[in-house]
Structure 1
């Protein structure tokens, strides 16, 4: 049954190489009843995997990673009744995650002067839970195994998990869904014994989205100008490792690479996330941008379908193998291919233009012109739900997303008194994306000999409409509203969304300066990055998903936008704050963290259920370091 709470992730250790990911306790344990486990394609391959010595306690003493998919845990073994001060039995537990399998080894070493006799056990189990079940706090029943001295197999719903031991066990038993293997060990002084297993998950030949590792690999390397020393350098190095671990390719097209949004909840294709991450990484790779553009263009909407929210020309929000169902009183149930996003389509156009300018071959750009035309038509047609000249969304009152910008939680758009804004909503940043997309899309069309005058005219009119409708002047100063609500009123309360307007061309220099002043003030600049909502308005909560937290990608977009407009003091302050925060996360920035106040002495604080690593966080960190070091 659901426990009604998402499992906490912030203290877990993650090793990944898409499409495989393993989450464990900091000591390396994978145990039933929490979010730990080995996962592949939104299914939990292993729910339990624990080495043990029944007559002793295993005491973890440290761990270290050597890449996104490799981690080593170390500990000592204290036999019950042992009162000696120095532990004589030590263990090393290595985990290696590849795109094909998960391999674990456990080495026990005797450093005493005496021979030691003991039993080592390995317990393993799986529930083959769907990712949405894990996220909802459900605990499905364990799947009954088929086990021998060398292996175990679990099967359910067309999914098979095979665990193979490196060395046959002396004893094997199975009870209540858990397999236990045992080895009776005799270790002389200075001797060691190794135990290992490998896990592989197989899917039956059924239709559905099963992205795999790209082939050939997409290199994401620091440029020669990068400095890998210091906190910024370590953040860059770790971020690039994680980005490599998040790489996937289109099902059936291994050369078409994109970034999975994040581990573990969003370990698949997401329109907005994959596009923004690829755009933030353009100085390092046009190949990733090309793959992201192609994989989304292949799924661009061609018809109107209220259930999936597909519309002609619309770029999708996400794709999974099966529908996800989060349960609850108002169940969120998304179809396998879901289109509930207002911003992915203009962001797709912006990435196409920027990749073209960055050197994407013209033949590849030309092949995407039909998708470009359709995207621009969607922006000027179905994307403007009520015909007022702004992109807006009505959102879903059924099982889809109610909010469809990047702040897509149900309470993500609020008035300054904390009241939730009523839909339909025209988000400010989406108008910035749309203006930039129209101007840049027109440039691409004109380069290939097409007339884009109507698109340019629409963009110019959007700029004037925005200026007339979105700006507020109240006790917080002069700033653009986060959105227009269903009654076309500008929603008050400074929010980070305004940062996304910088560098789009939608603002004039004075307007950009007003936005920079807001972003540089203590209400939005937490000292560790940019808060999603001003700390001086109702509804602010530093631990809110979208109303007071810090999102690294949001901060990175603000940094780059401020720099593009010439406001380097504010840009550097936000960038340096984010680097400082990364130290407390071991240089692996999460999806988001709490918007605590550095000036007041608050520590960096985790948002417990945040994904880590997250593609746009790692990409944003890369861009921020690039800005600080001068190569982005």
Structure 2
């Protein structure tokens, strides 16, 4: 079955995780594609339509503009054709939509510049829904829902209720709200409706912690300031927590498709955000440590000490034979990334023992030593043993992402290049933490030897050559052959210590080549690859966080000029996306297109894309 994932690039979003609303530019939606209001992984409203009726006819409304504030509210400005004998449209309707973790509120103001009062009727029509996100993402329809006197739901623990003070309410297949308003001369009238949402089965709730403020950047350009403010606002809207425990707050991965806990995404987002705030990093580490693997469970890909991939309320059926349990551990990189982030926050001043993360550190290191290399060839690798899990378990987790230079898809088990870098950095970070807090210099030295040996093996097995010269392969395949695609993965090795200085210089030179750097960011795969296409998910597109992590590695390794060039590219891209950097966008050259071509199903906001704004600011000297 060919899936028909809806496009969202031209929709407007209002968000406060786990609640999100996707609409057209005028604020209405009709259930097309991903349009609608959501609570967690359920669409609870598939239709919303606003009408304004005059004494003898429906008043024509035209979209004027849409704006989203740093408080997360979306304001839709509509022009109403109210006239006094001239051609001027003298009416306006302003819809201010806000989301909270428990629902949506819309405040509607109708105004007129007329010399006499006028009576109007404001009508808001709502269409209830309960379609799971999995069906919507596949382009499939759910069953119709009829509202009752107490709202609607999909099981005993869910309830959606409409409140509309002062309105006449009709309930059925549609919920219709009617307000009879009198607009005074040169005046206005206001109405408000709310949608209260609850789902007892959601694994997480909206964060109750205070929002993180945007950093002061007095020397930054106006474009960079707008990017960082938008990024921080989006990250605040993406925060979730364990129920009743604000100390375990983390960033949900992204809207609309991934508004839940993803281990890798939460860790990378918190790490990129660390120059602004340490509390999100600590909350992320605690959340994941509490769910750290305890047993061997092939169905869940769980192993002792392993950090999980994702958590949802229900089984996730991706419609093509991939079926993931509610807690799924199929990720090869989250565990070393967890150790790396722990090392970062300890360097930032967090006490390891007081944080309660020392024992989880030991578990994560044990997984790295005992379980990350199942065939004993000396490299961390993955393979789906369940038959229904993810085929690829690095961040490029689509089934066709790991390719040879001729475009051929590699067969698993797969040992990704960047994962060896993460593992090397994690071993060194673990050694430092054990030496400082565990009092065992012998164990620390064993981990440093482990890292040194990994670097030697990598040098022997991963480096390949093409007409441009040497470079690290994207991976080793099931036959232990280097997978020769020239890919962005090599950029994640920078700053991990896996490469020596000369090797890092070779990698940076290759990344900055026109085949890899689009002018906006680093392409996931070089234009010379036979399978390259600028809007192929992991084989030619530009992922915002991918470029940001490469920038971070360049800064760590002393390539400041190259890091700044990439940061300028992302900033230019941000200008084309109204300063909300998307999850990914097209790999077309900046010399060919502006704004960048959107990847139409991309999440926006996406946590690690939003956090990339902080990395851009660092590279440009503003932080």
> TM-score with structure 2 length normalisation?
0.95
Aligned to 1:86: 88
Aligned to 2:174: 178
1:521-559 CA distance string (max 9 Å, x none): 111110011111111111111101101111111111111
Distance 1:3 1:516 in 2: 38
1:390-437 CA distance string (max 9 Å, x none): 000013573211000000001111111111111111000000000000
Distance 1:627 1:195 in 2: 47
**1:227/1:136 CA distance change after superposition, 3 Å:** farther
Aligned to 1:562: 554
**1:311/1:336 CA distance change after superposition, 3 Å:** same
Pick which of 157-166 and 44-53 moved more. Answer: 44-53
Q: Which SS does the other structure have where 1:155 is aligned? A: coil
1:362-401 CA distance string (max 9 Å, x none): 4335x21221111111112221021101000013573211
Aligned to 2:154: 156
Pick which of 342-351 and 450-459 moved more. Answer: 450-459
Pick which of 27-36 and 335-344 moved more. Answer: 27-36
Aligned to 1:112: 114
Matching of residue 8 in structure 1 with residue 4 in structure 2? no
How much does 1:486 deviate? 0.7
Q: Which SS does the other structure have where 1:153 is aligned? A: coil
Aligned to 2:40: 41
Matching of residue 452 in structure 1 with residue 468 in structure 2? no
Matching of residue 326 in structure 1 with residue 315 in structure 2? no
Aligned to 2:259: 267
Q: Which SS does the other structure have where 2:585 is aligned? A: coil
Equivalent residue runs for 1:97-496 within 5 Å: 97-147=99-149, 153-158=151-156, 159-169=158-168, 172-174=169-171, 177-204=173-200, 208-217=201-210, 219-222=212-215, 224-225=216-217, 227=219, 229-327=221-319, 330-365=320-355, 367-395=356-384, 398-448=387-437, 449-450=439-440, 451-496=443-488
Equivalent residue runs for 1:485-524 within 5 Å: 485-524=477-516
> TM-score with structure 1 length normalisation?
0.94
Distance 1:463 1:3 in 2: 42
Distance 1:585 1:194 in 2: 32
Pick which of 128-137 and 230-239 moved more. Answer: 128-137
Distance 1:83 1:478 in 2: 75
Pick which of 267-276 and 113-122 moved more. Answer: 113-122
**1:199/1:422 CA distance change after superposition, 3 Å:** same
How much does 1:228 deviate? 5.1
Distance 2:16 2:60 in 1: 31
How much does 1:218 deviate? 5.4
Aligned to 1:615: 607
| RMSD over aligned Cα atoms | 1.9
Distance 1:83 1:30 in 2: 33
Q: Which SS does the other structure have where 1:619 is aligned? A: helix
Distance 1:396 1:23 in 2: 37
How much does 1:181 deviate? 2.6
Pick which of 477-486 and 23-32 moved more. Answer: 23-32
1:208-258 CA distance string (max 9 Å, x none): 553123333252431x45545421111011101111111111234222111
Tell me, yes or no, if the aligned pair for 1:30 and 1:36 is still in contact at 8 Å: yes
Matched residue count? 615
Tell me, yes or no, if the aligned pair for 1:494 and 1:533 is still in contact at 8 Å: yes
Tell me, yes or no, if the aligned pair for 1:342 and 1:393 is still in contact at 8 Å: yes
Distance 2:354 2:249 in 1: 14
Distance 2:416 2:548 in 1: 19
Matching of residue 59 in structure 1 with residue 49 in structure 2? no
1:566-596 CA distance string (max 9 Å, x none): 2222211111000000011110111111111
1:420-473 CA distance string (max 9 Å, x none): 111111000000000000011011011120232322221111110000000011
Distance 1:154 1:183 in 2: 23
Tell me, yes or no, if the aligned pair for 2:299 and 2:386 is still in contact at 8 Å: no
